[in-house]
Structure 1
Amino acid sequence: MPIFNKIIEVETTSGINIYNITPQVKDFIAETGIKNGQVLVFSRHTTTALAINEDEERLLEDIKVFLNKLAPASDRYLHNDLHLRIVPEDEPINAHSHLMAMMLNNSEIIPIADGNLALGTWQSVLFFELDGARKRTIFLQISGE
């Protein structure tokens, strides 16, 4: 069974932002010629996440509000005591972003059937920037026939 790997990049903006990466995943499936199998989508950062959900503007805003309630940036976090640990000069205050990422997924495995993602009508592959702005990378791995 062949396996194909690819890294896609997303230039993000600061704060919580959600990007629909379904088109990039579909393009990679088409490039490989795989008709039946699965694709692993893996976020390579500790302050980003992935989810399969609806890409609807008002829902995405609701998600941002919900995540901010779960881990408000204004709360006190030990991770933000930068003076107590060795960190790069540009280390952000971002404990809340790490905690939000833990409430979501860092990977999704999606079936491929007849050369297409086997997603439901309203489902999209969503990439969450929880800290940003940065260049982020997402690892894709397709296996199948």
Structure 2
Amino acid sequence: MVSTSSMTLLTTEYNQMIRITGEIEKAVKESGIRDGIVNVISRHTTTGITVNESLECLESDIAEFLSRMAPEDWPYAHARMLRDYGSTAGNPTGHLKSLLTGNHCHLMVSGGCIQKGGAQEVYFCEFDGPAQRTILIQVMGE
């Protein structure tokens, strides 16, 4: 059996980490699937999905690390006029940060619950906000 749902977020900051574990747990419960896998994927190229410990200090460290890896003031080739879009691309760091975090995660489902460590949370990462964002959640199993 396969159950697919989506969730929409309205982010409020240029860079933002939002815990979405509860929404994934809800989607798994509503699917009726007891054993299988859940796939979570962002539909956007300047966002990420990642799993990590939910600590404010760690969230800050992750944001700082990503900022060092993709600094705003670098002379990116993407930061130029794009004729196909009819505008200037001002979001190269969002694409690069997404590349580092990935845009999806997979979690096992057992007994109708997602299997994760006690400290693990699933995060949606915004790297080019604020914006309206869509996340797809697909549960597969029986």
- Check whether TM > 0.5: yes
Q: TM-score, normalised on structure 1?
A: 0.93
Within a 5 Å distance, the mapping from 1:9-28 to structure 2 comes to 9-28=8-27
1-side partners of 2:133 and 2:54: how far apart? 20
Q: TM-score, normalised on structure 2?
A: 0.95
Aligned length: 142
Higher strand fraction (1 or 2)? 2
Query: 1:88 deviation in Å?
Result: 4.1
CA contact (8 A) 1:14 1:132 kept: yes
How many percent identity over aligned positions? 34
Residue 43 of structure 1 aligns with which residue?
Answer: 42
CA contact (8 A) 2:78 2:89 kept: no
What amino acid is aligned across from residue 37 of structure 1 in structure 2? G
CA contact (8 A) 1:73 1:94 kept: no
Residue 130 of structure 2 aligns with which residue?
Answer: 133
Structure 1: tracts of 5 or more residues without a match: none
Structure 2: tracts of 5 or more residues without a match: none
Query: 1:92 deviation in Å?
Result: 5.0
> What secondary structure does 1:79 align onto?
coil
1-side partners of 2:83 and 2:64: how far apart? 31
2-side partners of 1:88 and 1:116: how far apart? 46
1:108 to 105, 116, 119: 105
